Chain A
Amino acid sequence: KQEVTQIPAALSVPEGENLVLNCSFTDSAIYNLQWFRQDPGKGLTSLLLIQSSQREQTSGRLNASLDKSSGRSTLYIAASQPGDSATYLCASPKGNDYKLSFGAGTTVTVRA
């Protein structure tokens, strides 16, 4: 069973500061790891998907790294903006299973 943990549970930063969100997982034999964003009352929006063979993925101001040996992934958001305020979740399947195990999420508030 894949267990995913996210720390911290909540984060508040001033606009312009870089964000660092952490995700750890117990089973290093992962197939991939996915980062999602959830706005209040909305669904999950996929941000980045990192395959097990990759070390990182980048999309605009977002960069996600993957270190299987230590069981960690980090999501970096550069030059944060108030519009980045949301809950960020990481999820990974166990092996090549389709079932995703989710972390509890990190709720980010970017203060203008």
Chain B
Amino acid sequence: EAGVTQFPSHSVIEKGQTVTLRCDPISGHDNLYWYRRVMGKEIKFLLHFVKESKQDESGMPNNRFLAERTGGTYSTLKVQPAELEDSGVYFCASSQVGVYGYTFGSGTRLTVV
């Protein structure tokens, strides 16, 4: 089966610009998660979708971050406007309902300059 796909793999943008990250989960996986790792820190949870509904968005840092999951399929994470501290690697993961084993994507490395 295809894995979790994220794109772009890298993005370099200027402070104040907008960036949209995309995640395509494994087909049939209702759970979709976003995590990120900023420089020198641990990987941190951002939010969790079950199908198209946000189950938990307690990790979203502020209202500059907006996540959507259209029709319960792919998800986007928009950062608007981007700030320097948003630089890091953004990971997406998916799992089946009731399953705690996660499959992670390869991540998007975001650099804000």
0 or 1 for each of B12-41: is its CB under 8 Å from A? (1 = yes): 000000000000000000010101000001
- With A99-B48, A104-B42 in contact, is A46–B102 under 8 Å at CB? yes
Smallest CB–CB gap between A26 and chain B, Å?
A: 14
The reply to whether A44 and B45 form a contact with Cβ atoms under 8 Å apart is: no
Residues of B within 8 A of A104 (CB): 41-42
0 or 1 for each of A72-91: is its CB under 8 Å from B? (1 = yes): 00000000000000000101
Smallest CB–CB gap between A37 and chain B, Å?
A: 11
- With A31-B100, A98-B48, A103-B42 in contact, is A42–B106 under 8 Å at CB? yes
- With A31-B100, A89-B43 in contact, is A99–B56 under 8 Å at CB? yes
Q: Which residue from chain B places its CB closest to the CB of A31 in the assembled complex?
A: B100
Task: Specify which of A41, A98, A99, A102 is in contact with B42 (CB 8 Å cutoff).
Answer: A102
Confirm or deny: B59 has a beta carbon within 8 angstroms of a beta carbon on chain A: yes
How many chain-A residues does the 8 Å CB contact rule pick out? Answer: 23
Task: Specify which of A32, A101, A105 is in contact with B100 (CB 8 Å cutoff).
Answer: A32
The reply to whether A100 and B101 form a contact with Cβ atoms under 8 Å apart is: no
B contacts, CB < 8 Å to A: 4, 6, 31, 33, 35, 41-45, 48, 55-56, 58-59, 91, 93, 100-107, 109
Extra contacts, 14 of them, besides A100-B43, A102-B35, A102-B43 (Cβ < 8 A), are A4-B42, A34-B102, A43-B6, A44-B104, A46-B101, A46-B102, A49-B101, A98-B31, A98-B48, A98-B55, A99-B45, A99-B59, A100-B102, A103-B42
Show 20 residue pairs from A and B whose CB-CB distance is below 8 angstroms, ordered by the A residue. Answer: A31-B100, A32-B100, A34-B100, A36-B104, A42-B107, A43-B6, A43-B104, A43-B106, A43-B107, A44-B104, A45-B104, A91-B43, A98-B31, A99-B56, A99-B59, A100-B35, A101-B45, A102-B35, A102-B43, A104-B42
Top-6 shortest CB links A-B: A43-B106, A44-B104, A102-B43, A99-B45, A43-B104, A102-B42
A contacts, CB < 8 Å to B: 4, 31-32, 34, 36, 41-46, 49, 89, 91, 93, 98-105
